[in-house]
Amino acid sequence: MKLQIKLALYNTLTKLAIIVFTGLLILFSLEKITYAHLSSRLKNKKDVFIRNLSSKEISQVLSQQQSFTNYNILKEEYIYLKSIPYQPDRHPTESFSTQKRTIEKSTDSYLILTYRFNFENHSYLLEIGDTLDTVIQLKQTIKQFTLLMLVVALLLTLVIDLIFTKYLLAPFYRIIDRKLIKVNDPMNFDYEKIETSTQDFKLLDDSISTLMKKIADLFILEKQFIANVSHELLTPISIISSRLENILSHEDLKEDSENKIFASLKTLNRLKSIINSLLLISKVENKQFNKNDKIRIADIVVEVYGELEDRLEDRKITFSNNIKHAYSIRGNHSLMHTVLFNIINNSIKYNREQGSITITDYLNSEGYVLEIADTGTGMSGQQIEKAFNRFEKLDTDERESYGLGLAIVKSITTFHDIKIQIKSVREKGTAIKLIFN
């Protein structure tokens, strides 16, 4: 999961917790506040009623043997008065309760203030009620409104956090893109600083640039060392080879000595081949070749087939050239010849007897694709990862393999901005794709 998404989710969940806590607090507080307000209002009505109560009204109630009842038209409030057994020492008492009352066949829940008092040597019970339906409806409305606002706030928070984190992390992604993903060669690294006001991103930018500077310096030293050593080794190797060849021309040379000299010459030739391969890699990586040739891929395949035809016949390998497109690139002809020669030569070297090699091409969204597939021994996933490493060889009886063929291929394809992919299955074969932009 991206850092941007994680930050947005974290901020959203944090704010969600705060909103839920606030909403619950409001709901509970609202209920208490509402009941407190109703209780206070009922007390005020009781005080007004008691203050305005006259003996005439009470006498009228007692004479008619009826209770005094009053309510508003909506039945949201009512006042009920009746006489109770007289107790001379009665002290005025009041209490609150929630009960149902039926007024004109309509039953509702009420918050009731019950007040017992003495008036002119008589005891009375006074009930003042206020309906709770309004409170319940209000609570339900507030719950729905709170839930709606919670969802809206959550969505707004998520969108705002995504936009803000995208803006906040934009310099980070530019640093990753320009200074890591798009860097194919430390020699062409872009040291220009990414504009940002975040101190952490400035530190990251400077650290990557410093690291790349060290890598580039080491890379230059390595290439110079390989080139210098390889070049210096060629001269003594050539001198030793010449001297051994001169010794072989002596007629009095014994057969045993002659065999040893032949073996030494073969070892020197092997060493010379390795040095030439390393020199080629060094020159390619140092960009010492031009790319001014117009190269037709199909023509190079035909050239390589002509050079390797004898080897194909010796191992009875079927070669199928199914190239359909006349695709051309601008590059170095000899280097591209080396690429296809090494790949097809490997397809022969690691193929089985009477196997096959098939070359196809096609166009897709990535560009022009040339695929060389064989029916050879194949490679494991670990071997594929190390395939382009220098001196990395497969398990084979081939003595002439130095493990530099694919390393050369990788250097040349990088030099020509060509992508290379390997797909392989053990004991079924290998397919190498060259993707031309």
The fraction of the chain above a pLDDT of 70, given in percent, is 89
What's the distance, Cα to Cα, between the start and end of the chain in Å? Answer: 30
pLDDT of residue 341: 94
Q: Residue 325 belongs to what H/E stretch?
A: none
pLDDT of residue 73: 46
The CA distance from 116 to 46, in Å, is: 11
Same fold, 199-285 and 293-436: no
The CA distance from 16 to 52, in Å, is: 53
Flag whether pLDDT at 265 surpasses 70: yes
pLDDT of residue 63: 54
pLDDT of residue 131: 82
Flag whether pLDDT at 64 surpasses 70: no
Q: What is the pLDDT of residues 116-153, one digit of tens each?
A: 988 878 888 888 888 887 677 767 777 777 778 777 87
pLDDT of residue 67: 43
Beta bridge partners of 432: 372, 422
pLDDT of residue 66: 45
Class of domain 293-436: alpha beta
Beta bridge partners of 331: 293
* Sequence spans of domains, the chain: 3-138, 199-285, 293-436
Beta bridge partners of 208: none
Start-end of H helices in 65-109: none
The CA distance from 365 to 17, in Å, is: 47
The CA distance from 277 to 271, in Å, is: 10
Q: Residue 97 belongs to what H/E stretch?
A: strand 93-103
Flag whether pLDDT at 422 surpasses 90: yes
- Amino acid code (one letter) for 77: E
Among 160-164, 203-207, 405-409, the minimum mean pLDDT is found in 160-164
Q: What is the pLDDT of residues 175-185, one digit of tens each?
A: 888 888 877 76
Q: Report helix, strand or coil for 395.
A: coil
In this structure, what token pair is assigned to residue 325?
């497109």
The fraction of the chain above a pLDDT of 90, given in percent, is 24
Q: What is the pLDDT of residues 364-418, one digit of tens each?
A: 988 999 999 999 988 988 888 888 888 777 655 555 566 788 989 999 999 899 9
pLDDT of residue 325: 93
Give me the phi and psi of 184, to 5 degrees please: -100, -20
The CA distance from 348 to 344, in Å, is: 6
Q: What is the CATH number of domain 199-285?
A: 1.10.287
**Predicted confidence band of residue 65 (pLDDT cuts 50, 70, 90):** very low
**Predicted confidence band of residue 174 (pLDDT cuts 50, 70, 90):** confident
How much helix, strand and coil, in percent to the nearest 5, is found in the chain? 55, 20, 25
What's the mean pLDDT when you consider all of the chain?
Answer: 82
Q: What is the pLDDT of residues 222-262, one digit of tens each?
A: 777 776 776 677 778 888 888 888 887 877 778 888 888 88
